[in-house]
Amino acid sequence: MAALARSAELERVCVVLIATRNPLNIGAAARAMANFGFHRLRVVNPYEPSFREARSAVGAGEILAKAERFESVADAVADCALVVGTSAMRSREAQHPLRRLDAGARLIKKQLSSGPVAILFGSEKVGLSTSDLSHCHWMLRIPTGERQPSMNLGQAVAVCLYELAREKTTARDTSKPETAAAGEVERITELLLESLRASGYLKPRASLATEEKIRRLVRRLRIEADDAEVWLGMLRQMLWKMRRTGPRPAE
């Protein structure tokens, strides 16, 4: 059997389940976490009756009892330096870099030295929404057969976590700059959106798709933690100046 990574190296991985409804899947996901040494489960708007029922799953009770609850994806990933979404990408057009599980797992392991990593799993029926995906830096895909590309939620969690745990985590590079947490990046994004509205670049009621595209663009910058305050300071100053002088006319 392949060696599993030490549990201390897995503490920074957060499994995030979004709007899950099937108690068997919730229990299976938590059981897989226990199997492979992961402990940080976060749930966003779970279906409460199913979540209560899932707590009786064998080997999953402790992890489910300690699961952190959030009302939004933004709150659930606010402290994470890397946010990765999972999808079979059957019919939707990819708006993010898409990586196979083996290559993606290597990148996640390297990122653990820069801060917590969130791996997002969507609901059984529709997966991750476009809004959910706007919080992701890139997408992870489990290679599957064409006739049945999507996997059961519990199975998908197990396969992803096994790939992360089966080899020793790459040694941490202490000289690598820390990446800004998702919460800081979201604050930068919100200030940028306000600045774009104040400047006249964005209409006051810009479409949700436009805002999601800007959110993805900001995340691709991979802003370092030490630079986050600089970005926030620059955007606050620009916004303050524009509010005093008024927006520039659109060209």
DSSP H helical ranges for the chain: 23-36, 48-54, 61-65, 73-76, 101-111, 130-133, 153-165, 182-199, 208-220, 225-245
**pLDDT of the residue at 164:** 92
User: Residues 6 or more apart from 71 whose CB is under 8 A from it?
Assistant: 44, 45
Question: Parallel, antiparallel, or unpaired for β 82-86 and 117-121?
Answer: parallel
pLDDT one-digit tens code per residue, 215-234: 999 998 889 888 889 899 99
- Identify the three-state secondary structure at position 196: helix
Read off the tokens for 165.
């745990």
Rounded alpha-carbon distances, angstroms, from residue 25 to 28, 106, 113, 163, 246: 5, 26, 30, 19, 53
pLDDT one-digit tens code per residue, 55-100: 666 677 889 989 999 999 999 999 999 999 998 655 555 677 889 9
- Number of neighbouring beta carbons within 10 Å of residue 198: 20
Average pLDDT of span 200-213: 83
Rounded alpha-carbon distances, angstroms, from residue 215 to 47, 49, 168, 187, 190: 28, 33, 33, 11, 9
| In contact, 12 and 35? CB cutoff 8 Å | no
Rounded to two decimals, the pTM is: 0.72
Whether pLDDT at 10 is above 70: yes
d(CA 217, CA 81): 16
| Residues pairing with 84 in the sheet | 119, 138
pLDDT band at 197 (very low <50, low <70, confident <90, very high): confident
| Weakest-pLDDT range from 3-12, 14-23, 67-76, 236-245 | 3-12
Average pLDDT of span 5-10: 62
- Identify the three-state secondary structure at position 40: strand
pLDDT one-digit tens code per residue, 138-171: 999 888 877 777 788 899 999 999 999 986 544 4
| In contact, 101 and 140? CB cutoff 8 Å | yes
Whether pLDDT at 240 is above 70: yes
| In contact, 193 and 242? CB cutoff 8 Å | no
